[in-house]
Structure formats: C-alpha cells, structure tokens
Amino acid sequence: MEPVIVIGAGLAGCEAAWQLAQRGIPVELHEMKPRKKTPAHHSDDFGELVCSNSLRSDQLENAVGLLKEELRRLGSLILRCADEHRVEAGGALAVDRHAFSGAITRAVKEHPLITVVEGEVTEIPAEGNVIVASGPLTSEALSERIKAFFPESRYLNFYDAAAPLVTFESVDMTSAWFASRYDKGTPDYINCPLTEEEYDAFWTELCAAQEAEVHGFEDKQVFEGCMPVEVMARRGKQTLCYGPLKPRGLKDPKTGKEPFAVVQLRKDNAEGSIYNLVGFQTHLKWPEQRRVFSMIPALRSAEFVRYGVMHRNTYLDSPRMLDRYYRVKHEPRVCFAGQITGVEGYVESTASGFLAAVELARRLQGKPPVDFPQETAVGALALYISNETVGDFQPMNVNFGIIPPLGYKVKGKRNKNAELSRRALEILDKLDPAEL
C-alpha cells in the first residue's frame, strides 16, 4: 500500500498519522521543523503548543471537556500524552508543554509504520492520499498552493496571540497567594491582586503601550477567544475586570475579601518553575510588556522567560470546501485537518485529525465511514465546519450550541450540559469497536 502523506506534525497531523498507522496504514509525515520555523515556534518537537499550555476545561459540564473524554475513549494519542504530562490547573487540563511535545514526538517517530520526512512542503501532492495539517502558521509557499487548489473559494486569516511566561522564583508571593476560583479543585493558580488605584494605573499604561508591528492588523480581525489583552483593555475600563482579571470567587487571605482585580498565573511545566499570565495574550513590544506587566504588584521583579507574540492564523472557508470527514469536496483524496479547517483550539484540532484519519483508513480498507452523530462533540464539530448554511464562517471552539438539545427539560445549565455529555458518551460507547 502506498503511504498516506500527512503534511504537518502539529496536534492534528500527529493524531492523524498515529491513527492511520494504528490501523495498519503506512504514513509519510512531513514536517518543516527543525529546518524552518515561524516566529511563534521555539521547539524542534512535534505537537508544539505555541500559545497557552492549557487544553481548557476537563469537566463534562463543558463542551471541550466532553470532547476530551470522547477522544480518550477513542484512543487519542494526544489526549494520552496530555494526561501523562498534566500539571495541576484546577478544573482544567494543562500540561508541561515540553514533556508533552517530547512524548508525542517519541511515539510518532518510534511507530514502525510512520516515516518522518524533514523539510518544507511547498506543493499539495498531485497523486495519492493526503492529509494537509499544516496548521494556522502554514508557510507562505504552501499557503499559495492551497489558495490555487481552491480558486473559487475564500482563503481567510485572523490574528492570534500568545501570553508571556515568568519564573516562579521571581513572583513576589508576599503580594500573591495560591488558590483556584471558588476553591474548585486544588489551589493551583497564583493570584496577583490589584487595588482599584493600582488597576487604574495599569489600565492607563496598558491602553497607551506601544504595539509591535503586525502587517494588516485590525481589531476586527482578532479572534474573540484569543484577544490581545491590550485590545480588550481599549474596549472599556472595566472590560478586563469581567474577563481575565475577574476577581469573582477569589478571596485574598489577607483581607478575606475579593480584590478589585486579580491577575492569575498558571503553571507551565511540571516542576512549577515557570508560570504563564492567564489571558495575557499580547502583541505589545517586548520592552513595553516588561514595563506594563511589571506594574502588577506581584510581578514588579518578574523574570520573563518568554514574551507574548502575535502571529497570523490562516483558515479555509470550510463549509464551501470540505465535507463532514474533512475531505475536499472536489477532490476527496485530499483531506485537511487542524486549525486550518476553522476548528479553534488544541483539542478541536486533535479531533479533526482523528476523524479525517479514521475515515481515510476505512476508505482505504474498503469499509464505509463512521458517521459520528451530531449528538457527539466529535460529530458536531465536523458537521459544523461542513455546514453550507453557515454564511460568515469564523473559527470556533466546540460548544453545546452546535449539539442538538435534549428534547426535555433539565433544571440548571450545568445539569443540562452534564446530561448532554452523558447522552453523547452513551452513543459513543454503543459504536462497534471494530468500526473504530
């Protein structure tokens, strides 16, 4: 059997390569690193997390929590590595980013049916089965070829941003404390309080700080789920207090009261030596990041080991281009997977790589596809990105709004969401294992 070409060794590409290989399909995995990197890449490993180290909520009352559990039950490589290298983050699944990527890299490179080919891919292969998982940071050369592959459709982009990292030893713990919001789970976050006066000064300087140049950047192009903190601040003086600096559920042990505002830091590695500023994605100039973020009392002497960066994310107008299996409608031998399809988020990207690979493997083996129903998170996400009735297509995280309602009333939003998750997992568990 000719190997399937998988382009890109990010989360979607590695998941796709692994699932194909596990089903006896040989894979040729192409990755441009380490020969070529984008400004957002820092590691040579596969599955690099270029933004946050959090895979978000791990609770079944949250749609991404359901998606994670579905992928666990379906044998996802990415979820296995995430669970093995998780760091405590309350009700979220956060990982030691370096250990996580290292584990993915070893698993993929050691698989006997996966051949890794280093170097940039600049063309979509003219023959054979292909999964393009080149990610939101697709190189310019390949991006141009993808545009040419869809001459009559839109090829879109928005801008994404990553948060800075600081060392734990440089955080002034006399001005901060460990806790999780509403005391959920274990006290895994460092909470850095600000008084109203301190917040006013911080907000004023944040709004006035100089941004790094990003060609074509406009506020309207910023994806709402990953908005730069300075863009958010300019939308109103209280906006941050209802967003990343929300003090609700966080009582300062020194006063017994909620502060005016709180900046949270989340562990970024297993040792707890590095923390990231939660919700502080930014594209400020690096000296400005140091100057403004050091106005937070607990971070006055903070040592920044990585500053926030801004980069372009590229995605397809998928409802016009792809079907529910992430196949190209006019040429189904080619599939796309990952954030380039318009699924937003690490777990969603993984899910797209999983589904594209499972469908392709079954097709190559002469079997019908597995139609994950819309009641499951995996199925709902695939049906959303292929739904031609979606006019103004925008990148989106998985959510319960794209999953059909229960058909009966359940009191309370969390209880309703938990019931939606229970239904999805029951459906998944009834699928024939031989089909998967």
Residue ranges for the binding site for FAD? Answer: 8-13
The three-class DSSP label of residue 222 is strand
Residues of 167-183 as b/e, b for ≥16 C-beta within 10 angstroms? ebeebeeebbbebbbee
Our CA angle for 289, 170, 98, nearest 5°, is: 80
CA distances from 146 to 130, 293, 395 (A): 13, 39, 18
The separation between the first and the last C-alpha atoms of the chain, rounded to the nearest angstrom, is 20
**Quick one: CA dihedral 415, 420, 426, 428, positive or negative?**
negative
DSSP string, 3-62: PEEEE--SHHHHHHHHHHHHTT--EEEEE-TTT---TT---SSSS---S-SEEEE--TTS
Q: How far apart are CA 365 and CA 361, in angstroms?
A: 6
Pairing of strands 165-167, 189-194: unpaired
Q: Which amino acid is at 7?
A: I
Identify which of 168, 174, 160 has the alpha carbon closest to the alpha carbon of residue 277: 168
**Nearest C-alpha neighbor of 113 from the set 294, 328, 357, 335:** 357
- Asked if residue 318 lies in contact with residue 341, where contact means CB atoms within 8 angstroms, the answer is yes
CA distances from 222 to 216, 230, 236, 395 (A): 11, 12, 16, 11
Pairwise CA distance, residues 114 & 29, whole Å: 7
Q: Of the candidates 168, 203, 162, which has an alpha carbon nearest to the alpha carbon of residue 308?
A: 162
Specify the residue for token string 């994310």. Answer: 313
CA angle 309, 16, 27 (to 5 degrees): 115
Q: Residues comprising the binding site?
A: 8-13
What is the spatial distance between Cα 377 and Cα 424, in angstroms, rounded to a whole number? 7
- State the Cα torsion 325-326-328-333 to the nearest 10°: -70
